[in-house]
Homo-oligomer: A and B are copies of this chain.
Amino acid sequence: MPSSTVENYLKRIYLEQQAEPAGEIVSMKSLAGAMGVTPGTATSMARSLADSRLVAYEPYGGVKLTARGRTLALRVLRRHRLIESFLVDALGLDWSEVHDEAESLEHAISDKLLDRIDEFLGFPSVDPHGDPIPTAAGEVRQAALTALTEVEEGAEVRIARVLDQDEKFLRFVDRHMLRPGTRARVLAHDHAAEAVTLQSGKLPAVTMGRTAAAKIMVELIRG
């Protein structure tokens, strides 16, 4: 059984691989940064994960999950996201506070209990942030989504996923009724100001910067 430290590293490497443009390879610098450890620690963990055949690692060559490492990472991610869903749906916690809780529970819960939770929730495919929940078999069913920055002016969209789990950002999203599932209309792109204006429900329109808009993924509603 992998320790929770190892589980955290694998999950983080998986997420960094998704983010990293450079051929899915994660550098020691970004790994150390993402894990909040010193570079030396990242190096020694990389070697140890490689010894366990969970990552491919060459000195000075960064790190990349093996098939086994990926399977394990997805298992942790599945736990994390099912737990988040459960905390929101069954216990009424706010979606802005479940992340930290899931971060520790993901290592403590048994397979049996996880299955029970999955069943209780009706086998959801996304968590409260719109993040896809990997299947028990290790598949990620990812819908094709568009970043808010890429949507044409005037288009109707459905918010599908919020990529930043930071409490402040999630509360901002909340305030303007932009949770996953909500409809909204893109009113304008101001390229000079690097800003996007959109409008949801009966609320006044809101203008946000490119960087914020890039963290909101949507589905286009044809029409």
- Give the size of the chain A interface in residues (CB under 8 angstroms): 19
Report the bound CA distance from A113 to B87 in whole Å. Answer: 9
> In the complex, which residues of chain B have a beta carbon less than 8 angstroms from the beta carbon of A92?
116
Q: Which of A87-110 contact B (CB under 8 A)?
A: 87, 90-93, 97, 100-101, 104-105, 107-110
Is A108 a contact of B107 with CB atoms below 8 Å? Answer: yes
Chain A residues proximal to chain B, CB less than 8 Å: 87, 90-93, 97, 100-101, 104-105, 107-110, 112-113, 116-117, 120
A-B pairs, 4 with minimum CB distance:
A108-B108, A104-B108, A91-B116, A105-B108
Q: How distant is A119 from chain B, measured CB to nearest CB, in Å? A: 9
Contact B91 A117 (CB under 8 A): yes
CB proximity of A40 to chain B, nearest CB, Å: 24
Residues of chain B contacted by A90 (CB below 8 angstroms): 90
Q: A113 is contacted by which of B101, B108, B113 (Cβ under 8 Å)?
A: B101
The answer on a CB contact under 8 Å between B113 and A109 is no
A109, closest chain B residue (CB): B105
- B91 A112 Cβ-Cβ under 8 A: no
Contacts of A107 in B (CB 8 A): 108
Identify 24 residue pairs between A and B in the complex whose beta-carbon atoms are under 8 Å apart, listed by A's number: A87-B113, A90-B90, A91-B113, A91-B116, A91-B117, A91-B120, A92-B116, A93-B112, A93-B113, A93-B116, A97-B112, A100-B110, A101-B109, A101-B110, A101-B112, A101-B113, A104-B108, A104-B109, A104-B110, A105-B105, A105-B108, A105-B109, A107-B108, A108-B108
